[in-house]
A and B are shown apart, each in its own frame.
Chain A
Amino acid sequence: MSAHASTSAAANEARGRRSAEDVEYSKTHFRVCRFITETGVKLGMRSVPMATACVLYHRFFQSASLQIYEPYLVAMSAIHLAGKVEEQHLRTRDIINVCHRYFHPDSEPLELNGKFWELRDSIVQCELLILRQLNFQVTFEHPHKYLLHYLLSVRSLLNRHAWSRTPIAETALAVLKDSYHGSVCVRHRPQHLALTALYLALQTYGVQLPRGELEWWQVVCADITKAQIETIMSELLQLYDMEAKCT
């Protein structure tokens, strides 16, 4: 009896430790993804390449361990690789410059000397590592195009003046962009993510859409249920809570 209890206690403890670790890890991931997004803005990256960079990062650490690999280096290489995959080529020099300044604010730009070239080499090496870790599957379907098409369809349902004064598109895109801070982006189908972002935006402003036999979201994604939408929505909203804890 006591042995059973002790093993279950040990198991619980282990679970507790693991979940504590997970929390720590998710905080780290949040910070690194924030780093990726900020760098992306400073580099003038478009939404889709930025999304690819975050997804590369998340997928890498689904199978790799944070103990072994330096997350910020992986992030920088993910940005570089994403630029290549999504046809918005970024110069390594720019990535290094921006990241260096992120870590050493208000510093002078790096000299183009030996240290610089070493940094460049490490980014390139890490890029190869990411490719191998992901089995060279680096093209992803992102929710953005689905979201934009859904936005157009929903726009046609609304009165044009109501549409023009309600920032539905901005909110939905903002929520989508922020969703890349966590792994929710890799755990759900892109159509579902897009749908949830739009649903969230419509609910925020209390927009009433016409009702038919089916709700608009049932039409757009035949296999989704209200419960699923709610789940994804809560995951998305949790990320905003994390911001307060991590930064």
Chain B
Amino acid sequence: MDRDLLRQSVSFHGENLLSLLKCEQNENPDFKHLASDLYKSLNQRDKDEQSPVLEQFIARKADLLFAPSWKISEPADEWQEESGEAFAVMPPLEQFMEVSFEERRELFYRDVERGDMVIGRINSVRDFGLFVTLLCTAGGLKRDIEDLEIKALCPKREVPSTGNHDDPLSYYQIGDLIRAGVKDIDRYHEKLTLSLHSSSVSPHMEKVKLGVLNKEDLPLHYTRGEIVSSDSNETFEKLLDDSLGLSNPLNVDFLLGKLGISDTQTPSLMRGLQSKRFKEEDFATTIRKKQSVSWALKCVKTGVGHFKSGRHVDAMNEYNKALEIDTNNVEALVARGALYATKGSLVKAIEDFELALENCPTHRNAKKYLCQTLVERGGQVEEEEKLVTAESLYKRALVLDDTFKEAAEVLEKLQIRIQKSLKLKELEAAKEQEKAKTAETSAEKLRKILKEEKRMKKKRKRSTSSSTSSDSSSSSSSDSSPSTSRKKSKKRKHKRRRSSRSSKKHKRRVSSCSDKTAEDDRDWFPAPANTSASYINQNQSISKLMSESEPVWGAESRGRFEEDLERGSDQVKPAGFRSGVNGEPLKVNERVGNRRDSSSSTQSEYSHKSERHSEFSGRNPSRSERAGNDGGKTNSANTKKDLPLNLLDIFSQIAEFQKDKKQKK
């Protein structure tokens, strides 16, 4: 029993209650402990205010009323903006009761706590902080404090800075309404310290915005309180009856939730209605379940009768009816599974048996039928050459029933078959691997070259101005920018269209590569590509690349580029050998543009170039995977992208490769 509560009650009611308690609660061991304490806390109460009936009631029900388990409410901690629609928001009761000034002030200072929110008006701005006169409470307490003229200080350090380098206090003016959290209270001196940092309010109110408010943001209980104070006819009753929230049919549920009490298990003080007196078997859901099970069983019995007489359709109907009445009824599932198996729908049969076993793992028939069906199904599947599936089916059958000889036999035969097929596959794989080797090594070397190129680009980036590059890099790195997303989507569409078996891993790699190359790309072409200025940059970079990468480039990449360039070489050649080098980048881009069906805007050119880079870098890993597989279009398109990178370089190599190819052929 809660000692403090008992003491409070006894001191309120007096001796009578104590004697009644002793009388009624004699048997109660909890009470005996506390009885001695209670003698000390007795007040003399007025005779006419005593209520013997009530005292009798308290005494009789004391074991319930003062039990620690009686308190079941757990108030919801979430702070909700009270809109007056879910329930009626009323002004503080103090206001209606006309509690005296002194008492209200005293109660406020007694009950306000750190972390509460208050709203006040700024009445002076000093250099050490703001002085605020409180208008109303806004969270944690609900009191009528406007006329109490409580002044509080919000020191300068509790005012968050506004981002500019000005004095944060200059943002606030006299007469502003602000919402602040109570940071500290000096109850003795009746001083309050406020704060505008969201850390100063209780955790469940953290999301509420502190700072300057408009009149519309004032809490509802305050605004309605103003209506009451201006109109003397408004009583509590009238205001409540006129509230929209009172007519909400769900306000009871909402408020019970707010107080933390469950609606289906409301407490009672009647002895017969205590929750421990209710048995689980008496509840509606339990009885219904039992009833459904027996009803379903009846249906299953009639169904089995139909089945035995050969009326499969009727039997199926009965089983389905049974399952509707009682889903996952074990008997019905087993019977239906047997019917499916007989008809030949083995997969459905297996599903039903598995479900039945889930619900009742010891069902003998279910196990037996399941094993048989699994073996049969395994046989079917084996004929379809899905050997691994068949193996798993047989294994499952054995797991369920390890005495099932047929399953063991079939499993053995299957395993032999699997071993044979595995050996065959190994031989095939060995052959493929040899083909793949040559391609792989050249792919690795290409990757090295690309990395070097990227390093050089980065060096160039550092030498150029910082602001534009930082902007562009930040914009390109953020996925939200439309061009990068478009780039990526184009690129991805491309990949999906072209590569049939690209793995997820290399896509990720590609996107990470593309981020970097996109960045580089942006920096590389600060001016639109249509002007000759960009070409000059390009030329410069190419010449640099040529000088640095030539030794690497020379002899190694032959094998790979052979296939790629071969197809593109015809179209490339005329472009390469044109005298006006100016035209080249444009031409290739246009062609690339045509291929992609995109406009020849600068953005698309940028995107193409970056795609080129990325696909170039991305393609290499993919090529190694698709060893020996001519990707057809892929490679030729790649060629187009590769070209402008090392234009002169490649052109010089073409002749070589063609010669080599002819040799290989």
A interface list, Cβ under 8 A from B: 34, 37-38, 41-48, 87, 93-95, 97-98, 101-102, 106, 108-112, 144-146, 148-149, 151-154, 156-157, 159-160, 164-167, 169-171, 173-175, 177-178, 181, 191, 200, 203-208, 210-216, 219-222, 230, 233-234, 237, 240, 243, 247
Contact = CB atoms under 8 A, between A and B. Distances in A.
B255 A214 contact: no
Contacts of B261: 169-170, 173
Given A42-B282, A166-B5, A212-B100, A152 B295 contact: no
B252 A165 contact: no
Interface in B42-86: 51, 53-54, 56-58, 60-61, 65, 70-73, 75
A171 B291 contact: no
Contacts of A146: 240
A243 B295 contact: no
B9 A206 contact: yes
Given A97-B287, A171-B267, 5 more contacts: A37-B268, A173-B267, A206-B10, A237-B53, A237-B57
A212 B97 contact: yes
A173 B282 contact: no
Contacts of B278: 38, 41-42
A154 B57 contact: no
Given A169-B261, A216-B97, A101 B282 contact: yes
B99 A211 contact: yes
A236 to B, nearest CB: 9
Contacts of A243: 270-272
Contacts of B4: 165
Contact of B141 (A112, A152, A156, A175): A156
Contact of A213 (B58, B60, B98, B237): B98
B621 interface: no
The 4 closest A-B pairs by CB, nearest first: A206-B12, A212-B97, A212-B99, A156-B142
Contacts of B104: 210
B627 interface: no
26 contacts: A41-B265, A42-B283, A43-B284, A44-B285, A46-B264, A47-B266, A87-B249, A98-B282, A151-B259, A153-B93, A154-B93, A156-B143, A157-B93, A169-B73, A178-B273, A206-B10, A206-B12, A210-B103, A210-B104, A215-B97, A219-B93, A220-B236, A222-B235, A233-B53, A240-B57, A243-B271
B97 A219 contact: yes
B170 to A, nearest CB: 37
Contact of B267 (A37, A95, A170, A216): A170
Contacts of B259: 148, 151, 169
Contacts of B265: 41
A98 B270 CA distance: 21
B42 to A, nearest CB: 12
A219 B252 contact: no
B529 interface: no
A42 B264 contact: no
Contacts of A101: 282, 287
Interface in B225-262: 235-237, 240, 246, 249, 251-253, 255-256, 258-259, 261
A213 B97 contact: yes
Contact of B65 (A109, A204, A219): A204
A167 B271 contact: no
Nearest to A98: B284
Given A42-B278, A94-B288, A160-B111, A181 B251 contact: no
Interface in B108-151: 110-111, 113, 140-143
B263 interface: yes
Contacts of A174: 266-269
A215 B97 CA distance: 6
A171 B66 CA distance: 10
Q: Which of B57, B111, B255 has the largest number of chain A CB atoms within 10 A?
A: B57
Given A149-B246, A165-B5, A109 B290 contact: yes
A45 B265 CA distance: 9
A171 B10 CA distance: 17
B179 to A, nearest CB: 19
B90 A109 contact: no
Contact of B273 (A38, A169, A206, A216): A38
B183 interface: no
A160 B107 CA distance: 12
Nearest to B237: A222
A160 B236 CA distance: 23
Nearest to A238: B53
B249 A156 contact: no
Nearest to A146: B240
B11 A206 contact: yes
Interface in B149-201: none
Contacts of A144: 252
Nearest to A160: B111
B270 A178 contact: yes
B54 A203 contact: yes
A220 B240 CA distance: 9
A147 to B, nearest CB: 9
B136 to A, nearest CB: 12
B88 interface: yes
B140 to A, nearest CB: 8
Contact of A206 (B13, B270, B282): B13
Interface string B290-302: 1100110000000
B97 to A, nearest CB: 3
B71 A94 contact: no
A233 B53 CA distance: 9
Given A157-B94, A216-B97, A222-B237, A94 B284 contact: yes
A60 B347 CA distance: 59
A112 B268 contact: no
Given A148-B252, A210-B97, A200 B271 contact: no
Contact of B51 (A153, A170, A203): A203
Contact of B272 (A34, A191, A211): A34
B133 to A, nearest CB: 22
Contact of A145 (B53, B252, B284): B252
Contacts of B61: 240
B294 to A, nearest CB: 7
A47 B252 CA distance: 9
B8 interface: yes
Contacts of B39: none
A149 B240 contact: yes
A216 B98 CA distance: 10
A237 to B, nearest CB: 5
Nearest to B54: A203
Contacts of A203: 12, 51, 54
B73 A48 contact: no
A208 B281 CA distance: 44
A146 B65 CA distance: 23
Nearest to A34: B272
